[in-house]
Amino acid sequence: MFDFRKSVVYQVYPKSFCDSDADGLGDLAGVTAKLDYLAWLGVDYLWLNPFFVSPQRDNGYDIADYRAIDPRFGTMADFQALCREAGKRNIRIMLDMVFNHTSTAHEWFQKALAGDPVYEDYYIWREGGPDGTPPNNWQSKFGGSAWAYVPEKGKWYLHLFDRTQADLNWENPRVRAELRDVVRFWMDQGAKGFRFDVVNLISKGSYESDGQGDGRRFYTDGPRVHEFLHELRQSTFGDDPEFVTVGEMSSTTMEHCYRYAGADTGELNMVFSFHHLKVDFVGNEKWVLVPFDFQQLKDILFSWQTGMSSHNAWNAVFWCNHDQPRVVSRFGDEGESWAQSAKMLGTVIHCLRGTPYLYQGEEIGMTNPGFTSLGQYRDVESINHFHILRDRGLHEDSAYAILRVHSRDNSRTPMQWDATGKAGFTTGTPWIGVTPNCDRINVASQLDDPDSILRHYKALIALRKRYDVVAYGDFQPLDPRHPSVLAYQRQHQGDTLVVVNNFYRKPVQWTCPVDLTGFTCLLSNYPGSTPQTTLQLPPYASLVLYRSAGASPRTPGGAPPLHPARG
């Protein structure tokens, strides 16, 4: 039976993964064609971003039909074939459910516009001010007001994201019943997991204006959210021990996540939180250029590790996804230390307590594409904020510089399979530009290289399966105030793991507070790494050190090293 604590989830953004029919868009058949690669890598669950019928205003997160596959991605037969072939390789399929909102093109919203009172109550409508102003001052996460006016109705509807993404009214039992039916439908088709998009926003509280900011304190982790999630679990996937669920939690608190992902709370298996990915923001504002705060990054990672562990709750641990820039461009090095920094960043995440999520291309060190014109971008959030930045008086060059760092399109460029001009993604015209460095950063060039980033990730995945301490161990920060080293210890049934990472280009000497006598180096991004109490750490150095319960503290022992070449 699958255990989500020993599993690794690989995220596929179908539109950019593999195009099987030369139309420039990735599709389900393309994913099926790459299953042998994913099985070789060792992943257990395959999370697919939405492939449902959608106007694609927000790249599929604006769903117009929850039960139909958009023809650009394939057919239901293609999905069933994917589930069947994945199952043969011991891979389970996880789907992305967008239940906070629908597209305004959805039949429910169209019936609401037509005046059907049943469907009007599927959404959130409010009267505006007498002077024609919106119901309150809440801001959309994509910029501008979170309310859109419908003249024919004389009312405003709530959209926390794009104006074509109308928020659903979860207070309506009919809405909750509809969404439970959607979950059951996809379970019947073969899905074995769900990722729930911004699911902690589904319960709204007061609709008053926010004198402190943008309104998020009134709709984040709302008053009935735990009740709603418990109800969803109990009536759908709760009885299937192989079913895995993860909630994307926007601006959440750790205290709420103890309940969302508690072992005995009956809600979800694990949560995504994003606090550690705001360390290069100013407050909640990401459309700025500032260096990342390393100490804050450590403080957040360590506090979530220890806090969730102390409450028997589970994290999804990750750097990258379809909404985040490439981590090697963000916290690593695109230059001469590119490979070492990519391996180090992978080691940090994969040895933490929690289920690691690996985003397509992360395992080969894909970088941000470096787009230079607005015409290269497809993301509605990025395009909106480019204009917002320009309206604020920012020079065009500065606005582009910010997009090159923070745009969601940084992670959405085609998967780089080989060194051809279109990276082996398609023989057609890609829907978004290919990153120019695909000639040197690609799967084909790393498959047979024992020292490649890809081989390092394969070894990291194998570690979790081979050593219980990686999956089940507790967590203890080591030297948490060090200015350049991120290190921690994991322990389980007498086994000990020590993970040491130099987060910077500058070499550093570091003295470990743990006696490393008797430890074995399981994995490193530099050859010849040997455990010793005082370590000389080269640029972006990373070591995974292990001592088994049976090894004497003064006698070398433990399991044999797991080298990337043999992983």
List, by residue number, the catalytic residues: 197, 248
Judged on CB neighbours under 10 Å (0-12, 13-18, 19+), 49 is buried
DSSP secondary structure string, 143-174?
A: SSBSEEEETTTTEEEE-SS-TTEEEB-TTSHH
Cα angle at 439 between 436 and 443, to 5 degrees? 115
Distance CA 492, CA 469 (A): 5
Which positions ≥6 away from 566 have C-beta within 8 Å?
A: none
- Picking from 522, 523, 524, 527, the residue whose alpha carbon sits closest to that of residue 559 is 522
User: How distant is the alpha carbon of residue 72 from its chain centre?
Assistant: 24
User: How distant is the alpha carbon of residue 436 from its chain centre?
Assistant: 24
Distance CA 37, CA 447 (A): 10
Longest pairwise C-alpha distance within the chain: 80
CB 179 within 8 A of CB 99: yes
How many Cβ atoms from other residues are within 10 Å of residue 163's Cβ? 18
Beta bridge partners of 216: none
CB 261 within 8 A of CB 268: yes
Instruction: Classify the phi-psi angles of 305: left when phi > 0, otherwise alpha if psi is within -120 to 50, otherwise beta.
Output: alpha
Judged on CB neighbours under 10 Å (0-12, 13-18, 19+), 237 is buried
SS (H, E, C) 502-520: ECCCCCEEEECCCCCCCCE
The token pair at 399 is 């606005």
Distance CA 528, CA 544 (A): 13
Q: Give 415's DSSP letter.
A: P
Distance CA 199, CA 252 (A): 10
Q: Give the SS3 label for residue 104.
A: coil
Say how many residues make up the chain. Answer: 567
Range list of β-strands (E), 36-151: 45-48, 52-53, 65-69, 92-97, 101-103, 125-126, 147-150
CB 123 within 8 A of CB 157: yes
